[in-house]
Structure 1
């Protein structure tokens, strides 16, 4: 009946009509018939049946039509379906329309009933009113109970729909954040690998005739770097292509413990790296990955911009709840003279380099974002003695 309300109402209406027809047939075969003829009773019963079928679709107009037809049915004493239909219509108005319209309908029913009783049986008026008010009160209580339950279910369904919407929105935001992180990973992988390959290719072209062994080592480095980059790119692209992320096995992300391997690869690429790592303890996975990516991007910039003959130094230390990362290079021995970024520029030789605000490309933006997302800081700029330096500070305990 809940799934098909009109079918349930049709069943109720048919049962009421069958009951009245049985009463009509029993009265017809008796010796002294008391009911009206069938051609009067049957049309009224059919009308009540149709109105009851539409009591949920259009509760108001069907209820007031039932008042007219039901009272005629009761005045002609054609059976009990008229009184039952009036009670069902009161219940329908209260539940499906509202308490205010239900009260108006109840007052109208009471007034009409009092007028009928006063005309038909004025001596038993008080008894008839009591017999009318008592069933109406029971129907009102039932309607209030069912209406409250319906309102509760509607509110629960609305809240569930809101929760599902919020969950879907949170899922979309999480997917967007994850794809942004993957985009940063792609940039780090491509920038590092391509920089190493370009430098090694240039070195191999210069050493091809004079030092074939060095050129061969450079080509091997290019091959290994390219294969490693392709493997990591495939893994990241598989994550982007697979929304569910359950078709391919996952490999662990690099962390601070992989800095030694990174330094070895940079040395093989032609940049001497001095690595100094203190006792880091158990770092959160995100912080450890951020340390690795900041060092990787810094060394990649050294390889691309410092020039041939530059050396780099990496220091990673933990002090309490803070990890400090320092990456510096000597810029192949070229010194930079520093001046205030916003102050007047003094007269200096043309070779002097002024300290200016460094907005940075995608690499520097990615490093800043990795530092800031964990509540840390990043300072990037020319070193006083020449070269370039990167200093990042990341908290170990993430705020919740």
Structure 2
């Protein structure tokens, strides 16, 4: 039964045709009965019922019942004309007139607004027209006539109201479907934005890993080749630094690539670096030939993971630029100051100043991943970044990262 009901809902015209067929059978039975009645009227000298009009009205109304969903405005207009013709020619109501109630429902549910309002007006007047045209022997007091007219019009009005409720419900469902489709589109757009943001984040991470570790390896390789003959022991130490730096870079790249894999495999990779790893980073930079002074001011505290990673990457990027562009006699200072609601980082070098222009162009590689990457990282945590040439030569980077109010102290990184 449920399958049959679902099938008819998917094929409403077929359902209307079935109901029209049943109504037509009723009209045939009424026509046979009316034919015998007309013969009796003829034998007694009475006025026979117009059978031609009966047949035409029955066929037209049944056909309109089938076509009412496909051509609602035309169907309603023809039905109104048929009803008015019956009243004008004094044709008594017949069984096929039951289709007029369905047409009134169709006008309110499917036709245009102006046709729906016209149908309501005609349906409201149908009772008075029927009452004064066909009723006989009725009390002609005004109140009684009004009540009887209202009763006669109520089937049309109720059919119209039911159709109006159907239209409202259909519009509500369409609005829900439109809203669901809009939300789905917004969800897809947000997913694309999230994917783009994740790709940008991974690109920044890869840039930081490659730029820092590869530059250390290049410096150590150049130094090893320079002292290979004169000081084999120093060359051996440089090669060891290259190997350890390469392993560190490989571990970080494995971690980043693990983010692109399934969630089950992400846990196999090392965690993201933070402030605690700064001493190892500074030692690596010093080994590569850049003297670095490190100081911590204020009371150290536990930082959110996003702020820790941002702080680590800013120091890493700044020291990488200083080592590559500061010159052979350059040195750098890193100062971290903990405030109640922020942590301030100041990285300065006294190099020859060439890094200033390179940083303005986007970093040491010229592809927009240096200073731009720093600004993106700082912006993601709601901080500010000030970068530019330092008085007296060199370059400075000052970053302020906001924090929540302090809850408990944390061990400061030592060098």
TM value normalised by structure 2: 0.74
What is the aligned-residue RMSD (CA, Å)? 3.9
Indicate the residue corresponding to 1:197 in structure 2: 217
1:388 shift after superposition: 3.6
Residue 20 of structure 1 contacts residue 78 of structure 1 at CA under 8 Å; is this kept in 2? no
Change over 3 Å in CA distance of 1:10–1:70 after alignment to 2? farther
Residue 79 of structure 2 aligns to a residue in which SS?
Answer: helix
1:156-203 per-residue CA deviation (whole Å, 9 max, x = no partner) reads: 333333333333333332332222222222221221122112111211
Distance in 2, matches of 1:365 and 1:110, equals 73
Change over 3 Å in CA distance of 1:217–1:381 after alignment to 2? same
Question: Which of 107, 110, 121 lines up with 1:93 in the alignment?
Answer: 107
1:299 shift after superposition: 1.3
Distance in 2, matches of 1:134 and 1:380, equals 81
Question: Which of 58, 61, 65 lines up with 2:78 in the alignment?
Answer: 65
Superposition map of 1:49-198 within 5 A: 49-68=62-81, 79-82=94-97, 84-109=98-123, 120-121=134-135, 126=145, 129-198=149-218
Residue 323 of structure 1 contacts residue 395 of structure 1 at CA under 8 Å; is this kept in 2? yes
1:236 shift after superposition: 3.6
Residue 378 of structure 1 contacts residue 392 of structure 1 at CA under 8 Å; is this kept in 2? yes
Residue 378 of structure 1 contacts residue 391 of structure 1 at CA under 8 Å; is this kept in 2? yes
Q: Is residue 317 from structure 1 mapped to residue 324 from structure 2 by the alignment?
A: no
Which ranges of structure 2 fall in alignment gaps of 5 or more residues?
Answer: 1-7, 42-47, 364-369, 406-415
Number of equivalenced pairs: 374
Distance in 2, matches of 1:325 and 1:201, equals 31
Indicate the residue corresponding to 1:342 in structure 2: none
1:145 shift after superposition: 3.0
1:260-314 per-residue CA deviation (whole Å, 9 max, x = no partner) reads: 2222332343334333345432222222111011000011112212234544332
Distance in 1, matches of 2:27 and 2:237, equals 104
Indicate the residue corresponding to 1:348 in structure 2: none
Change over 3 Å in CA distance of 1:93–1:379 after alignment to 2? same
1:207 shift after superposition: 1.8
Distance in 2, matches of 1:291 and 1:104, equals 73
Q: Is residue 389 from structure 1 mapped to residue 409 from structure 2 by the alignment?
A: no
Q: Is residue 258 from structure 1 mapped to residue 282 from structure 2 by the alignment?
A: no
Residue 336 of structure 2 contacts residue 343 of structure 2 at CA under 8 Å; is this kept in 1? yes
Distance in 2, matches of 1:177 and 1:230, equals 23
Residue 67 of structure 1 contacts residue 109 of structure 1 at CA under 8 Å; is this kept in 2? no
Distance in 2, matches of 1:291 and 1:255, equals 7
Q: Is residue 281 from structure 1 mapped to residue 284 from structure 2 by the alignment?
A: no
Which ranges of structure 1 fall in alignment gaps of 5 or more residues?
Answer: 337-352
Q: Is residue 367 from structure 1 mapped to residue 374 from structure 2 by the alignment?
A: yes
Change over 3 Å in CA distance of 1:22–1:122 after alignment to 2? closer
Q: Is residue 305 from structure 1 mapped to residue 325 from structure 2 by the alignment?
A: yes
1:86 shift after superposition: 0.7
